[in-house]
Amino acid sequence: MSVWFIAKREMQIGFRNPWSYSFLLLFSVFSISLLLIQSNQSMGFQGYTHATGTMINLTLYLLPMMTLLLGSFSLTAEKEDGSWTLLSTYALSSSSFLIGKFLGLSVVLLAILATGLGLYGVVGVWAGQPLTFSGVTAYVSFSAALLFLYLALAVVVGSLAKNRWQALTYGVGIWFVTVLAWPTLLIAVLNTLPYPVIKPALGLLTLFNPAELVRIVTVTRLGGGAVFGPDYYQWIDWINSQWGIATALVFGCFWMIGFLGLSSWIWERGRGRG
């Protein structure tokens, strides 16, 4: 019951939050610029081409950052404006509070995503882009998956950070490591390892990078699995099999449960001290 209360409250705050409006505008502009880029390619979101790859990458630049900032700021705001001090006087467990926040934030972020992607679809059809239903749904699932995985991380960041500035630092740090510097860091680190260890280590580390994981699954589901080369035949076969999506969903659930659990532990410690 308290989860629902917090979620509803979060939605009310979220849909009024100026941050949400700025990101709503930013994401809408972004979606329309994607269309402009694609109009050069006349390929649409069909199968895995370099055009699709570019679109995936541009989304990977923006969406995780947006999620990390909106998510973590919402939590630090509770600390900064004292509303958590008020809330903690009620019989409200940290975990229900965080789950409520997570659900509320998901709705707000999904609304931003839906607006942007809806705009993308409507303008795309109007402009005569060869969009396919499966293509658009693939892009929606890709974005939603990114959103949920990064939102769980954002809740951890929000629990750790004392204020908005700390949250910004951590958020940008996570974004930088998982999106921008990932290959550079990994190649630097993995090259120090013996050759046979490189592939398993890379595979294991990829499991902890939602950006790479979602990207690889999406590329594979779009039929581009072969680009990852013969080293990953088994991965690709698995992702393409009937169990692929189910595995991804189960993994996503574990990811969210794990990081929400971690956040409530962190939050609970803060509460004890407070």
Interaction residues for other proteins, span 244-273 (CB under 8 A)? none
Of 118 and 270, CB closest to other proteins: 118
Of 78-86, 145-153, 177-185, 259-267, the window that binds other proteins (rule: CB under 8 A) is 177-185
Residues ≥6 apart with Cβ < 8 Å to 200? none
Of 227 and 246, CB closest to other proteins: 227
Tell me, residue by residue from 199 to 238, as one string, x for binding to other proteins by CB under 8 A and - for no binding.
Answer: x--xx--x----xx--xx--x----x-xxxxxxx------
Nearest approach, Cβ of 4 to other proteins (angstroms)? 16
Taking alpha carbons only, the member of 197, 158, 160, 152 closest to residue 178 is 152
CA 11, 15, 18, 19 dihedral sign is positive
Report how many residues bind other proteins under the rule CB under 8 A. Answer: 78
Of 226 and 253, CB closest to other proteins: 226
Q: Could you say whether residue 30 binds other proteins (CB under 8 A)?
A: no
Of 125 and 249, CB closest to other proteins: 125
Of 8-16, 67-75, 98-106, 160-168, the window that binds other proteins (rule: CB under 8 A) is 8-16
Residues 131-150 touching other proteins, rule: CB under 8 A, are 131-133, 136-137, 140
As to burial, measured by CB atoms within 10 angstroms (0-12 exposed, 13-18 middle, 19+ buried), residue 164 is middle
Q: Could you say whether residue 26 binds other proteins (CB under 8 A)?
A: no
Of 90 and 133, CB closest to other proteins: 133
Of 113 and 152, CB closest to other proteins: 113
Q: Could you say whether residue 42 binds other proteins (CB under 8 A)?
A: yes
Q: Could you say whether residue 49 binds other proteins (CB under 8 A)?
A: yes
Tell me, residue by residue from 66 to 105, as one string, x for binding to other proteins by CB under 8 A and - for no binding.
Answer: ----------------------------------------
Among 5, 8, 9, 61, binds other proteins (CB under 8 A): 61
Other CB atoms within 10 Å distance of the CB of residue 247: 13
Q: Could you say whether residue 184 binds other proteins (CB under 8 A)?
A: yes
C-alpha distance from residue 225 to each of 15, 64, 133, 218, 230 (Å): 39, 23, 21, 9, 10
The span from the CA of 151 to the CA of 98, in Å, is 11
